[in-house]
């Protein structure tokens, strides 16, 4: 058996944004997914919004309901009542586990999040004025931000309401994005590409946040945070909400046959996961997991691995380097 050398990960992203909720564990854009994300301590939940045939504001990503429900059709061709006939439990991915979930309307999600978590709304085809009025009537203008890839939509929203927070989304952060975001007083820019550290620092110097995603690897999350990113968008908020508290310990170090994983003053955990450096899952044990947990690696190639333990609604992690037998 080879040696494992420990490297501590201390991801402290300013904000964790749960992309469509805890969408790796529950159907995206459902109340079940948002509830899980808040339970894991996410600072924000992100959702997608589309308008139905009767102008209901439906929380769903795709133009059609085909992928995530047991029905078919375009959202814009169906009324709220017709949409409620279908399960939004994403059966192709989760089977019947979430069969009672339905496509929520925006107001349901706002009431769920109110006072607990901030809400980022990707507008898709939803009418801007309709959304702003609903958010203001709910008294949540300070708990919501509106996101769009479309600079013209960003401009329209700013003209409609000087007080609403805006997030410009872009696939590749450029100087032009900074100019647009500054012009319309954006709260942040969200990007999915590799980031230029100089642009990230310039964005922050202009008083705006930089959100990066979608990131499901806590090691990559740490790297982005150290670059200056202020928000991590993730399908795995349970892996990214690495809050302050007792550190995960792995002993002895070095070891020749067995690794003992523990957290001071904790006797059990809700979950223990061991992944490869790029996120491939090797071990995934649902709770309760008795601590300390003893792990004997086998048939592993030398490299960096990540141990993630969820306990008390917090996640703790350690990077480990397996040097081979």
Q: Which of 12-21, 136-145, 205-214, 275-284 is most confident? A: 136-145
pTM for this entry: 0.76
Please report the pLDDT score of residue 302 as a whole number.
67
Residue (of 209, 208, 322) closest to 276 by Cα position: 322
Lowest mean pLDDT, pick from 15-29, 31-45, 237-251? 237-251
Judgement on whether residues 148 and 269 belong to the same structural domain of the protein:
no
Judgement on whether residues 186 and 301 belong to the same structural domain of the protein:
no
DSSP 248: P
Please report the pLDDT score of residue 213 as a whole number.
87
Judgement on whether residues 24 and 111 belong to the same structural domain of the protein:
yes
The tokens for 107 are: 């107001």
pLDDT band, residue 273 (cuts 50/70/90): confident
Please report the pLDDT score of residue 257 as a whole number.
64
pLDDT band, residue 1 (cuts 50/70/90): very low
Last residue of a domain, one of 197, 217, 240: 240
Please report the pLDDT score of residue 149 as a whole number.
95
Last residue of a domain, one of 240, 262, 296: 240
In 18-171, alpha helices (H): 31-39, 80-83, 91-94, 106-113, 128-137, 151-160
Q: What is the CATH number of the domain that holds 307?
A: 2.60.40.3080
Please report the pLDDT score of residue 249 as a whole number.
80
Flag whether pLDDT at 5 surpasses 60. Answer: no
Judgement on whether residues 119 and 229 belong to the same structural domain of the protein:
yes
Lowest mean pLDDT, pick from 56-60, 114-118, 148-152, 259-263? 259-263
Residue (of 188, 242, 197) closest to 215 by Cα position: 242
φ and ψ of 152, to 5 deg: -65, -40
Distance, in Å, from the CA atom of 79 to the CA atom of 58, rounded to the nearest integer, reads: 10
Lowest mean pLDDT, pick from 20-24, 106-110, 111-115, 277-281? 277-281
Dihedral (Cα; 15, 38, 150, 165), 10-degree rounding: -70
The sheet with strand 249-251 has its strands ordered as 249-251, 259-262, 293-295
Judgement on whether residues 158 and 247 belong to the same structural domain of the protein:
no
DSSP string, 286-312: EEEEESSEEE---S--SEEEEEEEEET
Please report the pLDDT score of residue 324 as a whole number.
61
Q: What is the CATH number of the domain that holds 130?
A: 3.20.20.190
More confident residue, 316 or 171: 171
Tens-place pLDDT, residues 183-201: 999 999 999 877 888 999 9
Distance, in Å, from the CA atom of 94 to the CA atom of 104, rounded to the nearest integer, reads: 18
Give the pLDDT mean for 109-114: 96
- Residues 178 and 203 sit within 8 Å (Cβ to Cβ): yes
Mean pLDDT of the chain: 87
Please report the pLDDT score of residue 145 as a whole number.
98
Flag whether pLDDT at 263 surpasses 80. Answer: yes
Please report, rounded to a whole number, the percentage of residues in the chain having pLDDT higher than 90.
61
Sign of the dihedral through C-alpha 192, 197, 200, 204: positive
> b/e per residue, 33-57, with b = 16+ CB within 10 A?
bbbbbbebbbbbbbbbbbbbbeebb
Please report the pLDDT score of residue 255 as a whole number.
58
In a domain, 8, yes or no: no
Residue whose structure tokens are 């954006």: 186
Distance, in Å, from the CA atom of 38 to the CA atom of 152, rounded to the nearest integer, reads: 32
Please report the pLDDT score of residue 319 as a whole number.
73
Judgement on whether residues 249 and 172 belong to the same structural domain of the protein:
no
Judgement on whether residues 266 and 222 belong to the same structural domain of the protein:
no
Judgement on whether residues 71 and 190 belong to the same structural domain of the protein:
yes
Residues of the domain holding 253: 243-322
Please report, rounded to a whole number, the percentage of residues in the chain having pLDDT higher than 70.
87
Last residue of a domain, one of 198, 221, 240: 240
Tens-place pLDDT, residues 128-147: 999 999 999 999 999 999 99
In a domain, 90, yes or no: yes
In 24-150, alpha helices (H): 31-39, 80-83, 91-94, 106-113, 128-137
Residue (of 100, 98, 112) closest to 45 by Cα position: 112
In a domain, 217, yes or no: yes
Judgement on whether residues 252 and 159 belong to the same structural domain of the protein:
no
Tens-place pLDDT, residues 9-27: 333 346 899 999 999 999 9
Distance, in Å, from the CA atom of 123 to the CA atom of 48, rounded to the nearest integer, reads: 6
Q: Which residues are catalytic?
A: 19, 61
In a domain, 5, yes or no: no
In a domain, 98, yes or no: yes
- Residues 112 and 36 sit within 8 Å (Cβ to Cβ): no
Burial bucket for residue 184 (CB in 10 Å: 0-12, 13-18, 19+)? middle
- The number of folded domains in the chain is 2
pLDDT band, residue 126 (cuts 50/70/90): very high
């Amino acid at each position: 058996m080879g040696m494992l050398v420990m490297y501590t990960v201390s991801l402290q992203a300013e904000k964790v944004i749960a992309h469509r909720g805890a969408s790796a564990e529950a159907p995206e854009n459902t109340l079940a997914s948002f509830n899980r994300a808040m339970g894991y301590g996410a600072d924000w939940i992100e959702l997608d919004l589309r308008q139905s045939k009767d102008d209901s504001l439906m929380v769903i990503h795709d133009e059609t309901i085909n992928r995530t429900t047991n029905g078919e059709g375009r959202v814009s061709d169906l009324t709220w009542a017709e949409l409620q006939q279908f399960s939004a439990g994403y059966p192709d991915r989760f089977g019947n586990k979430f069969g009672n979930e339905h496509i929520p309307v925006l107001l349901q999600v706002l009431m769920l999040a109110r006072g607990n978590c901030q809400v980022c709304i990707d507008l898709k085809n939803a009418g801007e004025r309709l959304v702003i009025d609903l958010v203001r009537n709910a008294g949540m203008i300070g708990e919501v931000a509106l996101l769009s890839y479309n600079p013209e939509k960003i401009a329209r929203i700013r003209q409609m309401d000087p007080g609403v927070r805006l997030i410009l989304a872009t696939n590749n952060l450029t100087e032009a994005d900074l100019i647009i975001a500054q012009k319309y007083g954006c709260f942040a820019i969200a990007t999915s590409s590799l980031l230029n550290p100089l642009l990230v620092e310039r964005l922050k110097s202009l008083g705006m946040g930089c959100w990066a995603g979608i990131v499901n690897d806590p090691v990559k999350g740490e790297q982005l945070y150290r670059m200056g990113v202020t928000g991590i968008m993730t399908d795995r908020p349970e892996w990214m909400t690495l809050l302050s508290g007792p550190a995960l310990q792995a002993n002895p170090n070095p070891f020749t046959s067995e690794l003992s994983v523990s957290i001071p003053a904790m006797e059990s955990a809700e979950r223990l996961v061991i992944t490869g450096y790029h996120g491939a899952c090797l071990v995934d044990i649902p709770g309760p997991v008795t601590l300390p947990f003893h792990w004997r690696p086998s048939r592993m190639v030398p490299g960096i691995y990540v141990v993630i333990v969820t306990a008390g609604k917090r996640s703790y992690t350690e990077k480990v380097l397996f040097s081979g037998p």
